[in-house]
Chains A and B, each alone.
Chain A
Amino acid sequence: MSTAPLVRVEGITRIFGTGDAALRALDGVDLDVAAGEVVGLRGPSGSGKSTLLNIIACILEPSDGRLSLDGQVVWDGRYHVADLRRLRRERIGFIFQFHNLLPFLDATDNVALAMTLAGTEPAAARQRARELLDYLQVGRRAGAMPARLSGGEAQRVAIARALANHPRVILADEPTAALDSERARVVMDLLRRVAQEQQAAILVVTHDEKIFDRFDRMVALRDGRIEAIG
């Protein structure tokens, strides 16, 4: 496992509102996630998990601190990247609680879409999409629409989409919440494999205790601060 952090969060603070109504959702959070590492992020509702994930995803601007992705400072009082969507397209993969596959595209096209948005030729995108689906052992469902996929299959397709553009950082928001224990463990094992083989840093927000043992580290947040790292 490499020790160089692909995600580096330093003293990140996020305040919503102003004056008496100000709410400190994150309060000086420090967190590193290295290549090949799968880190869990847990905490009660309102602890700041989603806020931290949104900040790392560059869809929410911090109030203070510094954020670096893949060795590049992305935010330290202002964004240093002009095109944040391009940054997300090319460097970050997303996995959602309810897979968020586009219901009008089949599995292959859902994966290929992420690549065509980044400028890959459609034919090449579809070819890599099929390879990724095979890699995630869901290739036989390549032509199926999301509504025809089981929860586990849909989540694997979503993981394939997240991997489409070779991202160094993968952010997952409750990826096993809609799955039973067995499928949840299968998905987590897949993420661990992806982290190892693709040398990606994976940060997973989860409440799912049955998969806590699948993380390299578990970070607990409470009231916007890191409570424990285990």
Chain B
Amino acid sequence: MNLAFADIRHRLGRFLMTCLGLGLLMGVALSMVGIYRGVVAEALALTHSLRADLWVVEAGTRGPFAEASRIPGDVREMVARLPGVATAGAVTLRSAEMQAPQGLVRVQVMGFEPGRPGGPATVAAGRDLGGARFEMVADARAGLALGATVLLGGDRYRVVGLTGGLVASGGDPLVFVTLRDSQELQFQLAPPAARRAQAAGAGPGALDTVNAVIARLHPAADPATVAETVRRWKHLAALTDAEQSEVLTRSLVNRARMQLGMFTVVLLFVSAVIIALIIYTMTMDKLREIATLKLIGAADRTIIGLVLQQAMLLGAAGYVAALAIVFATRDRFPRAVELGPTEVLAMAGVIGLICLLGSLVSIRAALRIEPQQALGG
């Protein structure tokens, strides 16, 4: 007979409630791990979707995500003619708030030339942008329906396509519009401001400006070599996709990662203390039973097995509850909760270790219980 199972079966309701509580706690810790991974995944979502080998930006910057970058629109044609470049596309990128049917929605607006790099890799519903103006492909996270009309920068846009999982590093959903629309949105002054600028002799400003040019290279081309060629033009800088990913994960979201990472560690520490206390309480609740077992001759391994098996069962059941809770609710989180097999298994290992270490104090306490404590009232 297994004493640990028998005791749990006897106090099943209490055990399940404890597991549920622990599940919620572990669920929070697991969510933090998922959010941590999600921040990185979201930061890289766009670059992965664009499948760019090279990012050409303004000299002296590491744009367009980490720093502002402005380059002339004709740079795209220059880059496209470079040896090793298969295709190139100009893009713009800016944050904006648009008036959607459900209210104001904060988005990251990406302008690109349809048919060239810069658009979404796949459109989950509807269609990609054609040549028509004032059309938009929006990420599902924006909460827009196909055919919905939104007001952006004084113009009305119609949603013709939806993507999934394309968000900016800050978590804002991406919306794609044509390059011309985005250039007007970003660089064209409103009529009163334009008149004021003209009166001051500043001129209307160049509209054919982009934030970056992205290039896809031929399979045999070396991104570092092509980037070096671009850098010879003094007004341009170039980052390979690996360098851009490094900028996104190490620079742009580094504070968020650190914050989430440290909070996860604190949360795991708190979980460890709570789990240890629960195991200790469960053990001390059985003080008389353990004393009786010792008195009737139970070996230490029987006592250790009882405490350790219950601790591991508690951890396992709590973790299953945590997984159920997190996977049932993660789509309701405003930002991605990325949990793959690696994270799930790693966290299971951490929980197992916490339960093992947490039970050591209880095992020590159980082994110190004197058999005399079974005697008397």
Binding site for B on A (CB under 8 A): 50, 53-54, 57, 59-60, 85-90, 94, 96-98, 100, 102-105, 109, 112-114, 116-118, 122, 145, 161, 173-174, 177
Q: Which of B11, B299, B371, B376 contacts A59 (CB 8 A)?
A: B371
Please give, as numbers and ranges, the residues of chain B lying within 8 Å of A96 by CB-CB distance. 292, 374-375
Please give, as numbers and ranges, the residues of chain B lying within 8 Å of A177 by CB-CB distance. 377
Please give, as numbers and ranges, the residues of chain B lying within 8 Å of A102 by CB-CB distance. 3, 6, 289, 292-293
Chain B, range 286-312, C-beta contacts under 8 Å to A: 288-289, 292-299, 302
| B375 A88 Cβ-Cβ under 8 A | no
| A104 B376 Cβ-Cβ under 8 A | no
Q: Which of B7, B10, B298, B374 contacts A85 (CB 8 A)?
A: B298
Given A85-B299, A117-B296, A117-B297: A112 touches B375 (CB 8 Å cut-off): no
CA distance A118 to B296 in the complex (A): 10
| B297 A100 Cβ-Cβ under 8 A | no
Chain B: minimal CB distance from A165 (Å): 8
Please give, as numbers and ranges, the residues of chain A lying within 8 Å of B228 by CB-CB distance. none
Q: Which of B6, B7, B289, B297 contacts A118 (CB 8 A)?
A: B297
25 example contacts (A-B, Cβ-Cβ < 8 A) are as follows A50-B376, A57-B295, A57-B371, A59-B370, A60-B372, A85-B294, A85-B298, A87-B297, A88-B296, A89-B297, A96-B292, A98-B377, A100-B288, A100-B289, A100-B292, A102-B293, A103-B289, A104-B3, A104-B7, A104-B289, A112-B1, A113-B1, A117-B298, A122-B1, A173-B376
Binary per-residue interface labels of chain B (297-329) against chain A in the complex, 1 for a CB within 8 Å, 0 otherwise: 111001000000000000000000000000000
Say whether B9 faces chain A, with CB atoms less than 8 Å apart.
Answer: yes
Q: Which of A59, A86, A116 contacts B295 (CB 8 A)?
A: A59
Counting residue pairs across A and B whose Cβ atoms lie within 8 Å, the total is 79
Q: Which of A94, A103, A104, A105 contacts B296 (CB 8 A)?
A: A94
Q: Which of B11, B288, B295, B370 contacts A88 (CB 8 A)?
A: B295
Chain B: minimal CB distance from A28 (Å): 22
| B297 A105 Cβ-Cβ under 8 A | no
CA distance A73 to B208 in the complex (A): 105
| B372 A54 Cβ-Cβ under 8 A | yes
| A109 B6 Cβ-Cβ under 8 A | yes
Please give, as numbers and ranges, the residues of chain A lying within 8 Å of B6 by CB-CB distance. 102, 104-105, 109
Please give, as numbers and ranges, the residues of chain A lying within 8 Å of B298 by CB-CB distance. 85, 117
CA distance A32 to B294 in the complex (A): 26
Instruction: Output the nearest chain B residue to A171 by Cβ-Cβ distance.
Output: B375
Q: Assuming A57-B371, A94-B295, A105-B3, what are 4 further A-B pairs, CB within 8 angstroms? A: A87-B297, A94-B374, A96-B292, A100-B288
Q: Which of B7, B9, B296 contacts A114 (CB 8 A)?
A: B296
| A173 B375 Cβ-Cβ under 8 A | yes
Q: Which of A89, A100, A122 has the most CB of B within 10 A?
A: A100
CA distance A117 to B371 in the complex (A): 16
Instruction: Output the nearest chain B residue to A108 by Cβ-Cβ distance.
Output: B1
Chain A: minimal CB distance from B80 (Å): 76
CA distance A57 to B374 in the complex (A): 12
Please give, as numbers and ranges, the residues of chain A lying within 8 Å of B302 by CB-CB distance. 117
Chain B: minimal CB distance from A54 (Å): 6
Chain B, range 1-40, C-beta contacts under 8 Å to A: 1, 3, 6-7, 9-11
Chain B: minimal CB distance from A206 (Å): 13
CA distance A114 to B376 in the complex (A): 20
Chain A: minimal CB distance from B323 (Å): 28
| B295 A104 Cβ-Cβ under 8 A | no
| B375 A54 Cβ-Cβ under 8 A | yes
Chain A: minimal CB distance from B294 (Å): 7
CA distance A60 to B373 in the complex (A): 12
| A97 B376 Cβ-Cβ under 8 A | yes
| A104 B10 Cβ-Cβ under 8 A | yes
Please give, as numbers and ranges, the residues of chain B lying within 8 Å of A117 by CB-CB distance. 293, 296-299, 302
CA distance A94 to B297 in the complex (A): 10
Binary per-residue interface labels of chain B (91-131) against chain A in the complex, 1 for a CB within 8 Å, 0 otherwise: 00000000000000000000000000000000000000000
CA distance A103 to B8 in the complex (A): 11
Please give, as numbers and ranges, the residues of chain A lying within 8 Å of B299 by CB-CB distance. 85, 117
CA distance A117 to B374 in the complex (A): 17
Chain B: minimal CB distance from A178 (Å): 9
Q: Which of A90, A105, A122 has the most CB of B within 10 A?
A: A105
| B296 A89 Cβ-Cβ under 8 A | yes
| A86 B292 Cβ-Cβ under 8 A | no
Chain B: minimal CB distance from A185 (Å): 21
CA distance A50 to B373 in the complex (A): 11
